[in-house]
Structure 1
Amino acid sequence: MIKFFKSVGKEMRLVTWPSAKQNRHDTGIVIVTSILFASYLGLLDLLFGKLTQLFM
């Protein structure tokens, strides 16, 4: 088990971490994309809900 954690530590030192600026940018992209996708699905749900009420 100790060998495993040592190897994990070695691998973590090799990781190239993004800068804080890049991290904020990527987070903003994810938030905006999520809002747009949720809005799109919400509008589709509303449209199909109205269509099913119309034909039922």
Structure 2
Amino acid sequence: MSQVKGFFKGVSAELKKITWPTEKEMKTYTVQVMCFVIVLSVFFFAVDLVISQVIGLLG
């Protein structure tokens, strides 16, 4: 039981070391992730379209 208690004390100590992002940083990160997802979606849509056209020409 003392090992479990020691584990949770260690977890608690480590959580106190974390520096959480500010609200402004979080908004910035969210916008960056959304932009990246949109860019990747457009890229994969274009690749899929090209591959579909090539397969259509071959078949």
**Superposition misfits of 4+ residues, deviation over 6 angstroms:** none
Percent sequence identity is 27
How far apart are residue 17 of structure 1 and its match? 1.1
Question: Aligned ranges for residues 38-53 of structure 1 at < 5 Å?
Answer: 38-53=41-56
- 1:19 equivalent in structure 2: 22
Q: Could you tell me how far apart the structure 1 residues matched to 2:25 and 2:15 are?
A: 19
How far did residue 25 of structure 1 move? 0.3
Structure 2 alignment gaps of length 5 or more: none
CA distance in 2, matches of 1:29, 1:21: 12
- TM-score under structure 2 length normalisation: 0.87
- In the TM superposition, residue 2 of structure 1 has moved relative to its aligned partner by 1.4
**Equivalent residue number for residue 36 of structure 1:** 39
The alignment's TM-score, normalised by the length of structure 1, stands at: 0.91
Unpaired stretches in structure 1, ≥5 consecutive residues: none
Larger Rg: 1 or 2?
Answer: 2
What count of residue pairs does the alignment treat as equivalent?
56
